[in-house]
A = this chain, B = another copy of it.
């Protein structure tokens, strides 16, 4: 069977990236990280790639047009022949120019139960609203920021005394289970996007249960 090649885009610490690496190394995920692309040369995620001997590339977004930046991303991802693009804490929005190259094959993980609390302060916003349940969402990346079809969600309880940091940590622990799980669903060819709904094929009924 042809290997399933994942391109990961990240900007920061890279704990979501690490969860993919770990799942592959443990044999829980039959996939290859074809490349890590990072837009921030000082991001710790690059050290993680080096440590695990995963090809990585720094592509700076600064000093170029959005179009040029996206062209560079697309170039590397195509050259590495990726089947799935994973935004794992990637802090840049992309346009339809990028999206068209990988339509329905780009996923993002977001630390809330979308459509509640989109944007870059999801955990703080959830606490300020006072919800009792938040969570994480893996969705298809389309032209709407944080608004694409949802592949998977996991609920996480919130306590009124939570700080944004400890809520973020609790959600992150779930992200690290959810993200490899969803990549596995793609690798097994079980994900089908129909309009706003995402179907996981028959065998995948199991796949929507809590991980």
Contacts and interface: CB of A to CB of B under 8 A. Distances in A.
A132 interface: yes
Contact of A155 (B155, B159, B197): B155
Given A160-B197, A160-B198, A197-B160, A132 B116 contact: no
Instruction: Kindly name the residue among A130, A133, A157 whose own CB sees the greatest number of chain B CB atoms within 10 A.
Output: A130
A209 to B, nearest CB: 8
Contacts of A197: 130, 160
Per assembly, the copies of the chain total 2
A77 to B, nearest CB: 26
Nearest to A139: B130
B116 A133 contact: no
A137 to B, nearest CB: 8
B155 A196 contact: no
A113 B161 CA distance: 20
A166 to B, nearest CB: 15
A196 B132 CA distance: 12
Contacts of A154: 133
A130 B157 contact: no
Given A113-B113, A113-B116, A116-B113, A130 B160 contact: no
A150 B135 contact: no
A132 B152 contact: yes
A145 to B, nearest CB: 15
A153 B133 contact: yes
A115 interface: yes
Nearest to A115: B116
A115 B137 CA distance: 16
Nearest to A209: B157
Contact of A135 (B117, B133, B152): B133
